[in-house]
Amino acid sequence: MLKKRIIISLTFFDGILFRTKKFLPDYRYTKNFIDLWNADEIILIDVSRYQDKQNEKFIKIIQFFIENCHLPITVGGGIDTIKKAKKVFDCGAEKIILNSSSYSNIHLTEKLVRIYGSSSVIHAVDLKKNKNNLYDIYIENGKRIIEGNPIKYIKKILSTNTGEILLNSIDNDGSLLGYDLQLINYISKYINVPIIVQGGGGNWDHFYDVLKLDNVSGACTQNIYHFTEKSLISLKKFLKKKNIKTRIDDTNL
C-alpha cells in the first residue's frame, strides 16, 4: 500500500538556508546535515527574487541535492515562465511547485501540466485565518491576499489538472504548535488530488495527528533540528507503533 510521506522542506534565500518564519539565516546546519536516507522527499524553495533571471546559486543547490540524494526532489519559488520551469526540470527535479504565478497567469500552469504531465506539477496554497474564523488565500510569500471565496480559487487551480496540492498554514508556519487540522479538514474535502501539508509540525504527535487523516498524503517539516540523523527514523518508528505506514523497513538504518 501507499505510504504516508515525511517531506523535508528547505527554504533558501540567495543560496543560504533559512529558517522560515523569522527568516533568519541558518549557518549552523548545512545541507550536509540533512538525513538524506530517511526523508521520503525533499522540497527546495527559493525565496530570493530576481526580476527575470534565475538565481544561479539556487540552481547549484538543486544540483547538489540531485547528485547526492537519489530521492524525489521538488523545487519551488519564483517559477513564473516555461523557461524557468524547464531549467529546474533540466537540473533533475522531479516536480515543481507553482503558487503566485497562477493568479495572474493560469494558462502557464495549464501549459506546464501539458508539457511535463500532471504528476510533475504541485500547486501550493497558502492560507491564513481571518478575524471571522474563516480562511483567506495569500500569494507572494503571504504578502498579498486573494479576494473572494478560497474554495472557488482552489477549484480554479484544480481545473488545470495539477497533480498535488501543498496546503500551507501561514498562521502555524514555524509555530511548532501542530498542523492546522481545522484548515485541513475544511479544505481537503474539496480537493481530489493528493494533499501534502505544511506548517506547524513541532513534535511526533503533531505528525500522527495529521497523517492519520485519510485525505493527507504527506507532511512537510521545515525545522532543521528535526532531522539530525536519528530523528526521522525515530519519527517513523513512532508512527509505525501507531499504525501509520511510512517507508521505514528498507532504509539501511
To which residue does cell 510533475 refer?
120
Identify whether the C-beta of residue 166 lies closer than 8 Å to the C-beta of residue 124.
Answer: yes
CB of 162 to other proteins, least distance (A): 10
Identify whether the C-beta of residue 139 lies closer than 8 Å to the C-beta of residue 103.
Answer: yes
Residues 102-121 that bind other proteins (CB under 8 A): 113-120
Nearer to other proteins (CB atom), residue 67 or residue 147: 67
Angle between helices 106-116 and 150-158 (to 10 degrees): 30
Q: Is 59 in the site for other proteins (CB under 8 A)?
A: no
Q: 217-242 burial by CB neighbour count: b if 16+ within 10 A, else e?
A: bbbbbbbbebbeeeebeebbebbeee
CA distance 101 to 122: 13
> CB-based contacts of 107: which residues, under 8 Å, 6+ apart?
none
Kindly write out the interface string for residues 144-173 of this chain, putting x where it contacts other proteins by CB under 8 A and - elsewhere.
Answer: -------------------xx---------
β partners of residue 151 = none
CA distance 218 to 214: 10
Which cell numbers hold the place of 211?
497523517
> According to CB under 8 A, which one of 54, 63, 81, 141 is a site residue for other proteins?
63
Q: Is 82 in the site for other proteins (CB under 8 A)?
A: no
Q: Is 91 in the site for other proteins (CB under 8 A)?
A: yes
Identify whether the C-beta of residue 126 lies closer than 8 Å to the C-beta of residue 137.
Answer: yes
CB of 137 to other proteins, least distance (A): 21
CB of 143 to other proteins, least distance (A): 30
Q: How many residues in the shown chain lie near other proteins by CB under 8 A?
A: 43
CA distance 252 to 231: 15
> According to CB under 8 A, which one of 10, 61, 71, 232 is a site residue for other proteins?
71
Q: Which stretch binds other proteins (CB under 8 A): 15-23, 170-178, 201-209, 244-252?
A: 244-252
Q: Is 52 in the site for other proteins (CB under 8 A)?
A: no
Nearer to other proteins (CB atom), residue 63 or residue 203: 63
Task: Kindly tell me the burial class for residue 247, based on how many C-beta atoms sit within 10 Å of its own C-beta (0-12, 13-18, 19 or more).
Answer: middle
> According to CB under 8 A, which one of 33, 57, 92, 177 is a site residue for other proteins?
92
Q: Is 66 in the site for other proteins (CB under 8 A)?
A: yes
Which cell numbers hold the place of 149?
471565496
Residues 8-37 that bind other proteins (CB under 8 A): 37
Q: Is 123 in the site for other proteins (CB under 8 A)?
A: no
Q: Is 206 in the site for other proteins (CB under 8 A)?
A: no
Identify whether the C-beta of residue 177 lies closer than 8 Å to the C-beta of residue 154.
Answer: no
Provide the binding-site residues for other proteins, judged by CB under 8 A: 1-5, 37, 40-41, 63, 66-68, 70-73, 89-95, 113-120, 163-164, 192-194, 217-218, 247, 249-252
